[in-house]
């Protein structure tokens, strides 16, 4: 569930919102930022796949030494579909791209999706901006603790906290300097206390948010 990253192993580090197959948008951003794959690191809040045009290339980012991600609810839907053979929930939520692949692409995608079972649900990043916690939708506790048991479904799906914050209610999460989430598409990045929501709807005509934290 948890994975720790020591930022002193990298020059610059960015955290990125939901990618959802928007591979070309990402390449454009990386050219602008001049990310050096030998020195820099890009972390994602999950949902690499579905809805956008290039899910397979986005999945293949997981093979890059300069890229890491937590698991999103769309990766989980794909894993559940492949495990049970019940594909309808995934397909209705943008997973139908999987059926349109060529034979070799289908094999590569299947292997990459199965590897998503090894993705952490929570990344704890220690870097120049402090202790940063990255999860897809929420960290369902009032205080963060390393290896603390928390509900997996809430990590992947919960929108209760952001809905309260958007209505002017809710508090910070204690135990870390910053928390970074995606999952809920927004017109612009939303920050409240030490909580940051950075899914800015790239796949819905918005923009892909990357935040430099080191």
Q: Which residues are annotated as catalytic?
A: 74
Burial profile 158-187: b = 16 or more Cβ within 10 angstroms, e = fewer: beebbeebeeeebeebebbebbbbbbbbbe
Tokens 């992947």 found at: 156
CA dist 159 and 7 (Å) reads 29
Q: Where are any strands of DSSP class E within 45-199?
A: 67-69, 122-127, 130-134, 178-181, 190-192, 195-197
Spacing of C-alpha 8 from chain mean position: 22
Sequence length of the chain is 214
């Amino acid at each position: 569930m948890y994975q720790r990253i020591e930022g002193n192993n990298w020059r610059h580090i960015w955290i990125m919102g939901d990618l959802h197959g928007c591979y070309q948008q990402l390449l454009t951003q990386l050219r602008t930022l001049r990310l050096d794959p030998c020195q820099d690191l890009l972390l994602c809040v999950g949902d690499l796949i579905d809805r956008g045009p290039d899910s397979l290339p986005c999945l293949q980012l997981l093979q890059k030494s300069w890229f890491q991600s937590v698991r999103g609810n769309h990766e989980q839907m794909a894993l559940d579909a492949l495990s049970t053979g019940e594909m309808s929930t995934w397909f209705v939520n943008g997973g139908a791209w999987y059926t349109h692949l060529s034979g070799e692409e289908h094999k590569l995608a299947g292997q990459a999706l199965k590897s998503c079972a090894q993705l952490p649900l929570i990344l704890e990043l220690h870097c120049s901006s402090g202790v940063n916690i990255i999860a897809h939708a929420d960290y369902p506790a009032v205080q963060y603790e390393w290896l603390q048991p928390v509900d997996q479904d809430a990590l992947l799906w919960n929108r209760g906290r952001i809905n309260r914050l958007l209505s002017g209610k809710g508090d910070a999460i204690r135990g870390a300097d910053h928390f970074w989430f995606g999952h809920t598409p927004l017109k612009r990045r939303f920050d409240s206390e030490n909580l940051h929501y950075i899914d800015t709807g790239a796949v819905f005509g918005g923009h892909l948010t990357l935040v430099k934290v080191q």
